[in-house]
Amino acid sequence: MVNATLMNIADAPTNVQLPGMYNKEENARVPIIVTGNDFSTLYAPLIRDGRMEKFYWAPTREDRIGVCTGIFRTDNVPKDDIVKLVDSFPGQSIDFFGALRARVYDDEVRKWISSVGVETIGKKLVNSKDPPPTFEQPKMTLQKLMEYGNMLVAEQENVKRVQLADQYLNEAALGDANKDAMESGTFYGQGAQQGNLPVPEGCTDPNAGNFDPTARSDDGSCLYQF
C-alpha cells in the first residue's frame, strides 16, 4: 500500500486524494524527501528515473568532523580531540562514532548492574518504590574514546575473520561435505583429489565383485552380478 501510494503521488503529484474524497482542484506539488542506506530494497519501479531523484552523499572529512561535533556536544569534548578522533578512524562511518559514544554510557550501566547485582536488578526496575537510578555523566577524554574506538575496530575485524573463515570453508575441499556426498561415499575421494594428493583409485563398493580394499577413491569400475 505504501509503495502504491508513493507511486501514485510521484505519477500525479497534483492530484492527491484522501480516502472518500474526490476533489477536482489540483493540489500544490510537495516534494517528499527520504534518506536511507540501501535503496535497492525498495520497490524497483518506485526508484526508477523520473519518479525519484537519487543523490549519494559521501561525507567529507569536514562533514564528519561537523557531525561528530554534534554527537559529542553534550559531553564537552574539545574540538581538537574530535578532529584527532575522526582522523584516527578515517575509514569508519558516522554510525561508528555514535556507537562509540553509546558504548561509554553502556559501560556505566553495566557498572551499575554489577554494583546492585543481577539477582536484584528486577526489584530495582519493576514496581519499585525507590526512585529510578541516576548516573553521573561519564567524562569522555580522548584517551578513553580512542580506547573504545579500538575496541569497536577489533570487533569489526573479528566479524570479518569469521566471514572469511566461512567463505574459505565453503570454497575449500571440505565445502563438498554435504549430505548427498557423504551418503554416496564420494566425499573422501573428492576432497583428497582437490588437494592434489595421490589417491589409490578402484572399486570401493564391498558388494561389487571387483572390490578393492586398498582403493580410496571410486573410479566407477565396480562390477556386479545379477
CATH number of the domain that residue 157 is part of? 1.10.8.1070
CA 153, chain centre distance (Å): 14
Under DSSP, is residue 183 helix (H, G, I), strand (E, B) or coil?
helix
The answer to whether 61 touches 67, Cβ cutoff 8 Å, is no
Domain count, the chain: 2
The answer to whether 215 touches 204, Cβ cutoff 8 Å, is yes
Q: Are residues 140 and 65 in the same domain?
A: yes
Report the pLDDT value the prediction gives residue 183, as an integer from 0 to 100: 58
Q: Are residues 116 and 65 in the same domain?
A: yes
Q: Are residues 67 and 129 in the same domain?
A: yes
pLDDT digits (tens, 9 = 90+) for 168-201: 666 554 444 445 555 555 544 444 444 455 667 8
Q: Are residues 137 and 93 in the same domain?
A: yes
pLDDT of 97 over the 80 cut: yes
Range of the domain at 158: 61-163
Q: Are residues 86 and 154 in the same domain?
A: yes
Q: Taking all residues of the chain, what is their mean pLDDT, rounded to a whole number?
A: 80
Report the pLDDT value the prediction gives residue 193, as an integer from 0 to 100: 44
Q: Are residues 74 and 106 in the same domain?
A: yes
- Is 54 inside any structural domain? no
Q: Are residues 36 and 81 in the same domain?
A: no
- Is 112 inside any structural domain? yes
Q: Are residues 97 and 142 in the same domain?
A: yes
Domain end marker among 126, 145, 163:
163
- Is 122 inside any structural domain? yes
pLDDT digits (tens, 9 = 90+) for 138-165: 888 999 999 999 999 998 888 888 777 7
Q: Are residues 26 and 66 in the same domain?
A: no
The answer to whether 191 touches 208, Cβ cutoff 8 Å, is no
Domain end marker among 163, 186, 217:
163
Domain end marker among 140, 163, 186:
163
Kindly compute the dihedral angle of the four CA atoms of residues 175, 181, 186, 190, in this order, to the nearest 10 degrees. -20
Please state, as a whole number, how many other Cβ atoms lie within 10 Å of the Cβ of residue 174. 12
pTM (2 d.p.): 0.56
